[in-house]
Structure 1
Amino acid sequence: MSASPVEEQPGDTRSNEELTAATAAGLRWITYARMIIEALLLVSMVVLARLIPPAAFGVYAVVTIVQELTMTLPMESTSSALVQRRSVGREHLQGALSLGLLIGIGLALVTMVIAQLLAKPIYGAETATLLMIVAPTFLLGAVNAIPLAVLRRRLDFKSIGIISIASTFARVAGMIGLALAGLDASALVLGTTISVVVSIALGLFFAPIPLPRWRPQAMRDLFPYSGPASLATLAWTGFRNGDYAIIGARLGAAQAGLYWRGYQLAVEYQRKISIVMTEMAMPILSRTAGHDELHALRRRMVRLLTVVLFPFLVLLVLLGPVVVPWLFGPEWEPAVLPAQILAAGGAATLVIDAAGSGMAAAGRTKAMLGYGIAHFVVYAGTVVIVSPHGLTAVAIAAAVIHTLFLVVAYQVLLGERALRSLWGDIAPASVGCIAMAIVGVPLAWAMNRAGAPVLVQIAIVGAFSGVAYLLTVRATFADCWSDLCAALRRIVPSAALELLARVPRFRVARSGNAA
């Protein structure tokens, strides 16, 4: 870790044209990386669902609260503070690493205490043991965050994509190998730890960083961002995972595992795909010249993100009852209805993430902190109240709370323009999804009644409803369609684009600008 990092010069801003070009250049690498990653995760998801029982996933769902925190806390605090600053030097990297390691030691000790005093009596000895194993990972997360911050500042999405693919492959191989060896929840936990080690090794290869040193002034430079961001991350992690802990404590590990599966399908897997955009959003938006430029570029990103991902949520609702038991096994069928309900929460969470990128790029960490705490407290309190009524009640509560806090996020971000701007951001995807549902709902019902094979149902419902979606977006939102085509030109082979260009265009009176 002795090589010198790149020194940034003050005033590291770029025009929206330059940042759009950087986005386009990085989009191919990040997209291909996510396609490979999601293929690997899909394989592991299916294999592990058949090797490991739902109750073990319930144990993992509780442990993953801490395991996720070991990675997100340094990434969203010290790493993002380095990315958001207009200029950084060697001393900032040294100070950030020192600060991260110090915080990591403290959190590791706190985790060990919680494992013995709280987790063991509530969730059992296995959960407590796994938390003890996870605790030292806080130190790995602190090291992992700094080289990734350097790569994000460089907008080096190619290297970031390579790191993501390699670490995911290590995670999948580790989980499946350990599960085949007879481990259950331990296989899931240890496989994730293996992936972090691989990420660190590659991160240091692509972006060597200096050894940690105590740099008080540099730490003070970072703290106005990293301090509130750390607290916001704690709240955000609690919001994303606290429901698993509550359900596990009140309904048992098996019910927590089923809810975990439903939430993964409806919310988390879409968010993993949305990382294609959100990984680029914060460093790119941080380089914009001013407030108006930031929000103009953010809107284009949100529209593109929702147009790509909202249709998958509609397909989950349409095909979930046949696809989930077929893919994961009949023991996972109780997760279907919660997943369908949570699709609305998944759509809201995607847009909330994009709004969060805008606030982070603008340095509004106090607003993020207040928002994160409020979201967590309201959601966790609601889950405590409704969880005795079962998973369906929890799913309905989650969908409602996430949707309400989507409106709150836009109010915090944009003030009086909130509702109009929110509709402008999601209108292309929402209108297209209405057309998709009009075609897909009766078609899915008829094919299910007819007993068509699952693969045939997926192909036919997906094809016809997908065409309806594309035709609607192209006919009613020409500007968004142009952005989608521009993104596809960076990603999809030219032969496939020629077919897409043949989609007929219907002109309507409505303007393409939904704002």
Structure 2
Amino acid sequence: MARVPRVTTATGLGDQAARGAGVTLGAQLLRAGLQVVALVVLARLLEPRDFGLVAMVTAVIGVAEVLRDFGLSSAAIAARDVTRAERDNLFWVNTGLGLACGVLATAATPLVVALYDEPRLATVVPVLAAVFLVSGANTQYRADLSRRLRFRALAVADIASQVLAMGVAIGLALAGAGLWAVVGQQVTAATVLLLVNVVSARWLPGRYRRDVPLRRFFRFGGALLGTQSISYLTKNVDNVALGAVWGASVLGVYSRAYQLLMMPLNQVNAPLTRVALPVLSRVRDDGPTYRRYLSRAQLVGCYVTATGFAVGAGLAEPLVALLFGPRWSAVAPVFAVLALGGIFRAVSQLAYWMYLSQDLTGAQLKQFLVTRPLMVLVIVAGTPWGAVGVAAGHSIAYALYWVASLWHVGKVSGVDTGPLLRNATRVLLTVSAPCGVLALAATWLPVPAAVQVVVGLLAAAAWLGLLVAVVPAVRADAVTVRSFALRAAGRRRAA
């Protein structure tokens, strides 16, 4: 049976991974920039209530997005090989799941309206439910492009969808469409993403074949579905709690802060997962190489993503003032607290990659069944204190989860994660935290917000430069991160 072409493991696999990460992260930076523009413009054209109403819907029916994937995208990416017939069958399964999820979400419209006591949601839910069918059809196209390490094609799709979705959203907002500008943005992004990926992949699915089993994909994806569903609950219980208790306006403020957090996090974690998962899966039997790749990935996450969130937390007030304007000042303290949790969400991604690349989704599910309910309790406990209280619960929960997940994945995989935990802690305490404190100190200066941001960034950069100059361990880390960056740009090959 014909097999889908794949890139074989070779000595240059590390360079392929680095270049793939470079292309992907470069595109994601551009995409993030476009999202910032859309976020800023829409925040000045719409009211907090408009964002809050859409957040109410997505927090409840968004779980269908997890169900329509069923873990099959990651199963296809992590598989050692996928036949063409298996790929076709997977396409039809994901498309069927997307259709079923759309129908179920539409049928649940009265329940969503009753939960929040918001009659306006009756027209919003069916429109957003249609996105599940489009995303279901797109699932295996993205998986196939990831398997073949075609990161440029994925980047083109991401950017094109973002540009067009932003244009539609801003146009609708200027026309006075209110919350429909946000709805239109989501529908447009999903549709364009599918169309561009179909063109890039250059294949159309054949008929479904009953004689081609998919058991191995469902075995992998079924366990992953459980973890993703529980993860979704953890990530969205804050929106549901705030919406039900405090209403659309408070949720609108929280959702802007949360989106400001997730925008950089998604632009880094999702594309890095597309690069890391196929690469780590191929070297998982080579212990030294596997550990080396994990260590490098962690350094990039600590020095870039985690430190960025620490600085963002310190500069929350002037950043929000510059981006959203004075009427959104309530977003600043919420974002500052959420960004602290973002530090731990960034570094905990490593454990997620280890579970998937080692084919330990079942073990991950068992871990989730213990840790995630506790996280939900911690997050919900902050509800009486409004958006800031929920944000605090969120950050505390993810800090505890980072330690627990890294310990557990090391235990079940046999990989010694002690050095990873110690190195990450060292970087967070000596680099990320001081950079965040220096950024915060810059906000105490009696100067305009833009100047505070510049001074804060320069102070953080100066501290990092000082550490590189005087601390050998940090200097060695900087060499590793710089080497990764050069390889990402295709300017140096692995040793």
Residues 60 and 240 in structure 2, CA contact (< 8 A), matched pair in contact too = no
Q: Does 1:489 align with 2:483?
A: no
Cα distance, 1:24–1:383 mapped onto 2, change above 3 Å: closer
For 1:242 and 1:421, the matched residues in 2 are separated by 30
The Cα shift of 1:377 comes to 2.5
Q: Does 1:280 align with 2:275?
A: yes
The Cα shift of 1:161 comes to 0.9
**TM-score scaled by structure 2?**
0.90
Cα distance, 1:237–1:438 mapped onto 2, change above 3 Å: closer
Give SS of 1:390's match: helix
Q: Does 1:462 align with 2:461?
A: no
Aligned to 1:37: 31
The Cα shift of 1:262 comes to 2.0
Q: 1:260 aligns with which of 255, 259, 265?
A: 255
What amino acid maps onto 1:147 in structure 2?
Answer: Y
Q: 466-475 vs 313-322, which deviates more? A: 466-475
Q: 177-186 vs 149-158, which deviates more? A: 177-186
For 2:343 and 2:294, the matched residues in 1 are separated by 17
For 2:334 and 2:182, the matched residues in 1 are separated by 23
Cα distance, 1:429–1:490 mapped onto 2, change above 3 Å: farther
Aligned to 1:251: 246
What amino acid maps onto 1:301 in structure 2?
Answer: A
For 2:271 and 2:207, the matched residues in 1 are separated by 31
Residues 66 and 134 in structure 1, CA contact (< 8 A), matched pair in contact too = no
Aligned to 1:338: 334
Give SS of 2:341's match: helix
The Cα shift of 1:441 comes to 4.1
Aligned to 1:423: 422
For 1:182 and 1:5, the matched residues in 2 are separated by 53
The Cα shift of 1:376 comes to 4.0
Residues 261 and 338 in structure 2, CA contact (< 8 A), matched pair in contact too = yes
Cα distance, 1:162–1:336 mapped onto 2, change above 3 Å: same
Q: 1:205 aligns with which of 174, 199, 206?
A: 199
Matches within 5 A, 1:355-504: 355-415=351-411, 417-437=416-436, 439-445=438-444, 447=445, 450=446, 452-473=447-468, 475=471, 476-490=473-487
For 1:440 and 1:45, the matched residues in 2 are separated by 23
Q: Which digits, 9 at most, give the CA deviation of each residue in 1:366-409, with x for residues without a partner?
A: 12323444454333333433312222221211111111111111
Residues 164 and 188 in structure 2, CA contact (< 8 A), matched pair in contact too = yes
For 2:421 and 2:113, the matched residues in 1 are separated by 40
Residues 359 and 365 in structure 1, CA contact (< 8 A), matched pair in contact too = yes
Aligned to 1:159: 153
The Cα shift of 1:255 comes to 0.8
For 2:216 and 2:84, the matched residues in 1 are separated by 13
Residues 321 and 333 in structure 1, CA contact (< 8 A), matched pair in contact too = yes
For 1:381 and 1:184, the matched residues in 2 are separated by 34
Count of aligned positions: 484
**TM-score scaled by structure 1?**
0.87
Matches within 5 A, 1:226-237: 226-237=221-232
For 1:396 and 1:390, the matched residues in 2 are separated by 10
Q: Which digits, 9 at most, give the CA deviation of each residue in 1:254-295, with x for residues without a partner?
A: 111111122223344333233342231112111214162333
Residues 69 and 139 in structure 2, CA contact (< 8 A), matched pair in contact too = yes
For 1:115 and 1:35, the matched residues in 2 are separated by 36
Q: Which digits, 9 at most, give the CA deviation of each residue in 1:440-467, with x for residues without a partner?
A: 444432x1xx2x1222221122112212
Matches within 5 A, 1:504-515: none
Structure 1: gaps spanning 5 or more residues: 495-515
Structure 2: gaps spanning 5 or more residues: none
Q: 1:126 aligns with which of 120, 123, 130?
A: 120
For 1:127 and 1:286, the matched residues in 2 are separated by 43
The Cα shift of 1:422 comes to 1.5
The Cα shift of 1:491 comes to 5.9
Q: Which digits, 9 at most, give the CA deviation of each residue in 1:199-243, with x for residues without a partner?
A: 111111111242340436432131111112222222222222221
Aligned to 1:271: 266
Cα distance, 1:74–1:111 mapped onto 2, change above 3 Å: closer
What amino acid maps onto 1:218 in structure 2?
Answer: P
Aligned to 2:137: 143
Q: 2:309 aligns with which of 307, 313, 321?
A: 313
For 2:47 and 2:195, the matched residues in 1 are separated by 33
* Identity among equivalent pairs (%): 23
Cα distance, 1:96–1:331 mapped onto 2, change above 3 Å: same
Cα distance, 1:442–1:336 mapped onto 2, change above 3 Å: closer
Cα distance, 1:162–1:5 mapped onto 2, change above 3 Å: farther
Q: 1:82 aligns with which of 76, 90, 96?
A: 76
Q: Which digits, 9 at most, give the CA deviation of each residue in 1:1-53, with x for residues without a partner?
A: xxx996247xx7625x4321111221231122112101101100100001111
Aligned to 1:298: 294
For 2:145 and 2:197, the matched residues in 1 are separated by 8
Q: Which digits, 9 at most, give the CA deviation of each residue in 1:38-90, with x for residues without a partner?
A: 11011001000011111111112122336755555555612111111111101
What amino acid maps onto 1:303 in structure 2?
Answer: L
Cα distance, 1:266–1:304 mapped onto 2, change above 3 Å: same
For 2:397 and 2:250, the matched residues in 1 are separated by 21
Give SS of 1:124's match: coil
Q: Which digits, 9 at most, give the CA deviation of each residue in 1:285-324, with x for residues without a partner?
A: 1121416233331221121122112232222222212221
Residues 431 and 473 in structure 1, CA contact (< 8 A), matched pair in contact too = no
Cα distance, 1:140–1:392 mapped onto 2, change above 3 Å: same
Give SS of 2:282's match: coil
What amino acid maps onto 2:426 in structure 1?
Answer: A
Residues 284 and 357 in structure 2, CA contact (< 8 A), matched pair in contact too = no
The Cα shift of 1:123 comes to 4.1
Q: CA RMSD in A?
A: 2.6
Aligned to 1:497: none
For 1:84 and 1:488, the matched residues in 2 are separated by 25
